[in-house]
Copies of this chain bind each other. A is one copy, B any other.
Amino acid sequence: MPACKMSRSSQVTALVSGDRKKAEEQAAKYGVPAKSIYDYKSYDEIGNNPDIDAVYIALPNSMHAEYTIRAANAGKHVFCEKPMATTPKDSQAMVNACRAAGKKLMIAYRCHYEPTNLRAVQLIRDGKLGKIQAIESAFGFSEKMGEWRLNRKLAGGGPLMDVGIYSLNACRYLTGEEPSKIEGYSSTIDKDGRFAEVEENVSWTMRFPSGIVASCNTTYGGQMEGYYRVHGSTVICTWNPRSATKGFA
């Protein structure tokens, strides 16, 4: 929302919240009129509000499908946080609802549009690194007790689908290929109650059709700034947070 305020092409025109007081505070901050504050019951009434072109959905993962479908049914475009949903069935239902309503559906995964990553992809496609042989990547963080990401029903999974996906997708856009083989291990080390429903760590290795191999880690239990390291036959390309301010995650 702060970024939206800086944008010349979009603005916050309505709010949906289960907490009226919080919604009013935010409304004051973003200049949203009281009539454009909704809760989860009145949400479908957005269809009557011409100030709303699109809905941005930042709810826990398992709620993406319902609120996308209700927005589409109300005649609004949808910009939904990643991951799209917690099942392929829900994802397909979201596509179907938006298609039936003639509305656009976009998932808020941006890394493959970031200038740094686009530059890395271009360097690779232009052969500046020689032939790509192998990639390492990792991304994770230490999640706090009680967060919805640790609730399997709300999150749909653990760190792999939340942040490990940045590493997996980096391997996909850097190679331009889909992995043909994948193996991995998950583990939980901290017995502090956080990881009763989702795993703490995932480590995996992949092989792509061209022969490029990749190894990745993700965690909800440690410090793991995102990075990738691409090994070409002649040059290494590394993106990490100490050497770049944009890109990846």
Contact = CB atoms under 8 A, between A and B. Distances in A.
Interface in A123-156: 130-136, 138, 140, 142
Interface string A197-217: 000111111110011111111
A135 B207 CA distance: 20
A235 B223 contact: yes
A225 interface: yes
Per assembly, the copies of the chain total: 2
A207 B133 CA distance: 24
Contacts of A207: 185, 187, 203
Given A138-B229, A223-B235, A236-B224, A201 B187 contact: no
A212 B203 CA distance: 9
Contacts of A138: 134, 136, 215, 229, 231
A25 interface: no
A138 B136 CA distance: 8
Contact of A205 (B204, B221, B233, B235): B204
A222 interface: yes
B184 A224 contact: no
Given A131-B221, A134-B219, A236-B225, A201 B189 contact: no
A136 B201 contact: no
Given A185-B213, A211-B188, A215-B215, A133 B221 contact: yes
A215 B205 contact: yes
Given A133-B201, A217-B134, A222 B211 contact: no
A234 B189 CA distance: 14
A214 B138 CA distance: 11
Contact of A232 (B222, B229, B232, B236): B222
A184 B207 CA distance: 9
Contact of A203 (B134, B225, B232): B134
A190 interface: yes
Interface in A163-195: 181, 183-190
A130 B222 CA distance: 8
